[in-house]
Structure 1
Amino acid sequence: MDNTIQTVWIIDNDEIYKYAFRKFVKMKGLCSDIVDFGNGKDAIDFLTDQTSGDKLPDVIFLDIDMPVMDGWEFVKAFEHIKPRLPKRIPIFMVTSSIDYADIVKVQNHSAITDYIIKPVNAQQFSFIFSVGLSKQSA
């Protein structure tokens, strides 16, 4: 199986975080395409659109606290459409929340790969794009 990451989705309403994420990923050459959404609903709508099959992400970086549809609502909706997707898409919950309840909730969701607390540093990104994702395809 090809472990190359072509497309990454950022689902987050924090424009500064998305800007820094794009800058870092492009600087390191970690992927060729970054798509961002300001809330979970826009991302779910895109995933359920039949014409978007060839534009699915290789990985999703998801925030918890967003307007319209938050990260938990996104995960719930994602779990319903996941069986219809042609590939497995790892989700990394990337958030500023240090709430223990959120951490435990992530551990009980098979759709979520890992919980990462912002700000994300270069070593965490390197791990996610190499070791973290290669384990997902095994």
Structure 2
Amino acid sequence: MSQIGLACIIDDDNMYVNLVKRIVEAKKLCKNLMIFQNGMEALEYFEALLNNLEKKCIPEIIFLDLNMPIMDGWEFLENFTKIENKLGKTITLYIVSSSINPVDIERAKQSNTVKDYLIKPVTIHDLESIFLNPAS
């Protein structure tokens, strides 16, 4: 089992972000975590990577919240799908939201980019199964 090198959280909920960080660090699920407060910050990062494709700077997993200021998760997803293939690396993207709206869940499942839809709060078990079996 190889450890995930880099994961990314795009979420403006500091309590959730800190919880995930603590679990990931305590369980040694990932070497590094990148945190973005909204979709715009994250999108600007990924667009900048296109000009300088250092593979080690591309996360293997993204946890994306839907409800954020400036640019929400849906807007990020729409823009990210346009550049994803140019990054030259498979990125597994999970939507993590407090929304239990079936419309949101179905919309996420329609996207080829989205691996799964997780409802907050995520559990230690959820995170372990994602980080320890990223391809499944």
Instruction: Report the TM-score when normalising by structure 1.
Output: 0.92
1:3 Cα shift?
5.4
Q: Give the Cα separation in 1 of the matches to 2:102 and 2:120.
A: 15
Cα deviation, 1:75-103, whole Å, max 9, x if unaligned, reads 10011001211101010000100001001
Which residue does 2:13 correspond to in 1? 14
Cα deviation, 1:91-127, whole Å, max 9, x if unaligned, reads 0000100001001001100000000000011111111
76, 86, 89: which one pairs with 1:87?
89
CA contact (8 A) 1:5 1:58 kept: yes
Q: Give the Cα separation in 2 of the matches to 1:8 and 1:52.
A: 17
Identity %: 35
Q: Which residues in structure 2 correspond to 1:1-138 (within 5 Å)? A: 4-49=3-48, 50-51=51-52, 53-54=54-55, 55-131=57-133, 133-135=134-136
Q: Greater CA deviation, 58-67 or 118-127?
A: 118-127
Aligned pairs, number: 133
CA contact (8 A) 2:53 2:87 kept: no
1:51 Cα shift?
3.1
Structure 1 pair 23–52 and aligned structure 2 pair: CA distance change class (3 A) = farther
Q: Give the Cα separation in 2 of the matches to 1:48 and 1:118.
A: 28
Structure 1 gap ranges (5+)? none
* 1:24 alignment partner, SS class: helix
Amino acid at match of 2:46: L
Instruction: Report the TM-score when normalising by structure 2.
Output: 0.93
Superposed CA RMSD in Å reads 1.4
